[in-house]
Chain A
């Protein structure tokens, strides 16, 4: 069980949305993490490497600063099954780049722009994720 946190989730979500809006205002780019992280390694074509590095560094640093600032550990429950997590990472890495977006690029930015492509993409990854969790928790693990 995890606690239902509608207010914190709404506020955190609004912060994610605001970050996406400000990135569009600043340099006209979509705040899609797979697009940004997927271009951290070469080849570099568009001169936006430092921007991407900054954005990723910010995401990585945020929880560390919050932990230091508040003195409280951030609650996380992560599988320590290494082969499972490697496979999950490979699937997420391939799928998000192949589909040109993940939860942020398609799910937040694309849906906000009412992009039909993003609607198809979001419906698809939600569907396979629901089915995967159902199979893992209630068929295989059940």
Chain B
């Protein structure tokens, strides 16, 4: 971990903090009228707001998680050098793609 990674991890944590609260609030709200796919998709499809909300969330989580996994691999797995950075980018990229796929699936009309 160096200061560059530390700043990225802290900034993405700061971005995610309100988004997590928003996400939790939506979970409570969504279950009040019975949880159904139709209701969820009715709220998210075509919505630029939800696309931005969860798009930013996915990006921040990918960056934050990838830096954390890099640190775990370095300290527990003794991974070093280029392999360590490669692992971080691959894991972050995978998280981002999977997350983006989920966002696209619920916001595209």
A-B interaction: no
Q: Which residues of A contact B (CB under 8 A)?
A: none
